[in-house]
Amino acid sequence: MKLITNPSDVTAALADAEERGPCRRVLMAAPDYFNIESAINPWMRNAEGELNVVDSAKARYQWDTMARAYRDVGIEVQVIEGPPGLPDFCFAANQSLTCRDASGRQIALLSEMASETRREEVAHFRHWYKAHGFTVVDCPPELRPFEGTGDASRHHGRHAFWGGVGPRTGLDAWNFVAETTGASVIPLNLPDPRYYHLDTCLAVLSPRAALYVPAAFDDAGRSLLAAGFDDLIAVSNHDAANFACNAHCPDGTHVLIQQGSGQTLEALVKRGFTVIELDTSEFMKSGGSVFCLKQELP
């Protein structure tokens, strides 16, 4: 397949993309060693410039609650155990991108992490995927960085991805994704360092609706999004800082989202979504929330 860069091509590309069912299972990475040991994004320091401090027991409780919420809506949760020495391992969206190819094979594309502190995480995911019957594909090192579904958002119901282009994933990586998976990819530039991953500023809710932060995209990106969604829900600055766009809607109905984003919640309920508010405050200290903490599995 190819990259879709012209808004006039987006509608046809999505209509032509192979149909895909809703998410039925996710992979979550145990947060046993979650901590903040260095700052690799703008959210990891407090107002005084010091590293945020994690309450490990509270983080575990929040993670368990999120896993239970998935199970309660019929989503199977599989777990990869977190190794010592990798404090960001729990953010399972970043180390890979998974899907089924045209022949139905489960494929795991492994990331080339931007930060040296996170590169060792990928080997553990490689082992897990091989043990669970996936065809594992390594991202060519020269395409670094590529951070999986931190920057890849599936278009609901279609074998197509919206792809963030910024500090964590380069444009060339999306050519690799398109060629390897057979999916169309619509790249979106991320010029604002606060929105270093696409999953901080875009949440695909259904084939026609998405949450987004308008200021996180350039004019070209906003035009592409407008061509792809009939109902773009603008998220306020307050709710964006509360990681409202790091929500996850696995089935087009239930939206798992960080608690406290009142304006966004009102917009979701108005459109008929069932909202499940979660407390991910300990993980927000490290720059992530619901979407970051899981990997959709095909």
Numbers of helices and strands, H then E, in the chain: 8, 14
Report, as an integer, the average pLDDT of 85-110: 95
Q: At what angle do helices 7-16 and 219-228 cross, to 10 degrees?
A: 40
**C-alpha distances in angstroms, 93 versus 50, 173, 290?**
26, 16, 10
> Looking at the domain 7-297, which fold is it?
L-arginine/glycine Amidinotransferase; Chain A (3.75.10)
In terms of DSSP bridges, do strands 254-258 and 231-234 run parallel, antiparallel, or are they unpaired? unpaired
Assess whether pLDDT exceeds 80 at residue 1.
Answer: no
Where do the domains of the chain lie?
7-297
| Selection from 148, 155, 104, 16 nearest residue 298 by Cα | 104
DSSP one-letter string for 152-219 = EEEPTTBSEEEEEESSS--HHHHHHHHHHH--EEEEEE---TT--SGGGTEEE-SSSEEEE-GGGS-H
Q: What is the average pLDDT score of the chain?
A: 96
Q: Is the pTM of this model over 0.85?
A: yes
Q: Which amino acid is present at 5? A: T
Q: Would you say 284 and 43 are in contact if contact means Cβ atoms under 8 Å apart?
A: yes
Q: What is the pLDDT of residues 57-79, one digit of tens each?
A: 999 999 999 999 999 999 999 99
Report, as an integer, the average pLDDT of 10-29: 96
In terms of DSSP bridges, do strands 135-138 and 106-110 run parallel, antiparallel, or are they unpaired? parallel
